[in-house]
A and B are shown apart, each in its own frame.
Chain A
Amino acid sequence: MSIRFFLLSLLISAPYSSWAIDPFTIELYQSSCVICHENGAGGAPKSFDDNVWQDRLAKGSDVLLQNVISGYKGMPPLGMCSDCTQEDFVDLIAYISTEQAEE
């Protein structure tokens, strides 16, 4: 097995949360997003649930980003994270829309 293939296989098999998520993104999620998305309050797409995110992701990341920035349905502009940057929102969308492996 080549080193390159070995590393690639590690990436594929490793739980996503254990290597790719910036802890700061998780902190932002906990302080701003969890309140609505954890349980799907008010119709908010539930965090980490592939089923509810597939159709949304299909719209394209730019559309999702713009929805967070301008607000969408029950979500206020900036999605309760007044001090988030555009990059934060990109990271948060990626985090929230991806099934997380159990610790």
Chain B
Amino acid sequence: MKNFKLTRRDALKATGASLAASAALTSGCSEAPKSVSGPKSINGVMPWSNWAGNQVCYPAERMRPRNEEALVSLLRESSGKIRAVGAGHSFSALVPTDETMLSMARFRGVKDINYETKEVTVGAGTRLAALGDALAAEGLGMINMPDVNTQSLAGAIATSTHGTGQKFGSLSHYVTGLTLVTAAGDVLKCSALENKDVFDAARCNIGSLGIITDVTLQVRDNYYLKERSEMLPLEEAFEKMEKMRLAKQHFEAYGLPHSNHVLVIEFSEVSKEESDANQKEENSSDVYESFRTLAGVIEAAPFLRGAVMSIGPRTVEIEERYGAWNEIFGNVRDIRFNEMEYTVVAEDGLACFREVLDTIKEKNIDVIFPIEFRYIGEDDIWLSQFYKRAGAAISVHNFHDKPHKAYFSEMEAIFDRYQGRPHWGKLHNKTEKEFSVLYPQWNAFKELRQRLDPERQFINQHLETIFPV
């Protein structure tokens, strides 16, 4: 175990990367020793698969309207099932259909900027990374951003995708207007002043109301961040996190399974000058390789896992990183995995997080993937996980070709005890029965959904369990 010294996110990323290398996992663009055996075309029909590879389908038709007029015609003439596809980052079966798969890739880019109100109107198919670059170039910034930025804007909005920080809402929270085309081909402009009921539902719509063509977002002036990462012993970390929660500080944390350590990552706004003065070259390749070696040891001798996971984190140094908001928030996830995420009431977050980490240890669950912990502010969006309650989102992962069902099932039982609400785009086993209790506006959403899509054209097999007839 030579040169074993770790830094901030590399510890997390490399934990995954290393296991990937040793267990022949596949990744985005990481080295992988074996070929992927993904779905193949059947009778000339190209398969669709999500990023994680756990959802596959064979759509009979793939449509990509060029503009709103073409989209309206398509919807007016279509009578079959239609599912919109974005970047394919949802783990749940939101997209799969054997009928029509609709891409909004022609609806991309910033369409309008109101510099006075700091609002931007953006094409629904715009990827978050591209939006970040476009805004930064205009001297603007998103108020907050998810830590993965490859999703399409409409997909992220449809599932209340979020970053971290109790002072901040999810992406959906910053939507001030949107355009929705219904199954009948009606174009609805929605905001707090116009079609308000549709607006309150469509800001987190699970792709079940129609097709969104553009979204207007509240943004702010460009800004710079300092990110400080520190690996702390478990009790010290929990004490610090509780203080930061009460002070509503901007941070996230990663608990390392089978270890008594938590990585705490704090964000603070700094001046451009301070950011520029603290630029340094990132160097993680040695760390990456070190963790590969480490995981090789775990794979070869699993009984050493506890010791290795306990000793490793102690070597992680404090690290600081400076940069523009979109550089700091955006991360490449180049290790494929499956994920479950539940949001519990913010005040219960740390207790739930502790129970998750304790259960993994007590039940000796075979996982080394870090547990992600984030706070998010409340909103008033009907099906948002943060509806009328600030939340603590806890995410559990396992590599995409490692067993995850038993692990996730154990975790889901914990989340249920805390009345957790699942992330719509991540794996869960909830049906309408549970959702109708978890969401006070459930019936209002259902009625509106039925009004906008009476023939159930936007309902696929997965959504049948959520919105049964």
Contacts and interface: CB of A to CB of B under 8 A. Distances in A.
Given A71-B38, A83-B104, 11 more contacts: A27-B105, A30-B130, A35-B29, A36-B28, A69-B40, A73-B36, A74-B30, A82-B49, A83-B64, A83-B87, A85-B46
Given A44-B29, A66-B40, A77 B85 contact: no
Interface of B: 26-32, 34-41, 46-51, 53, 62, 64, 85-89, 95, 101, 103-106, 108, 125, 127, 129-130, 150, 332, 334, 336
A78 interface: yes
A42 B29 CA distance: 5
A41 interface: yes
A42 B32 contact: yes
A31 interface: yes
B134 to A, nearest CB: 12
B28 A80 contact: yes
8 contacts: A37-B29, A42-B27, A42-B30, A42-B31, A70-B47, A73-B26, A74-B27, A74-B29
Nearest to B125: A83
Given A27-B108, A70-B40, A74-B26, A83 B103 contact: yes
A44 to B, nearest CB: 5
A86 B103 CA distance: 13
A27 B105 CA distance: 9
B26 A71 contact: yes
Contacts of A35: 28-29, 150, 332
Contacts, number: 111
A28 B41 CA distance: 21
Question: Counting chain A CB atoms within 10 Å of each CB, which of B29, B85, B125, B336 scores highest?
Answer: B29
**Chain A contact residues (Cβ within 8 angstroms of B): what range?**
20 to 34
A73 B32 CA distance: 6
A76 B85 contact: no
Which of B86, B105, B332 has the most chain A CB atoms inside 10 A of its CB?
Answer: B105
Contact of A85 (B26, B29, B64): B64
A75 interface: yes
A43 interface: yes
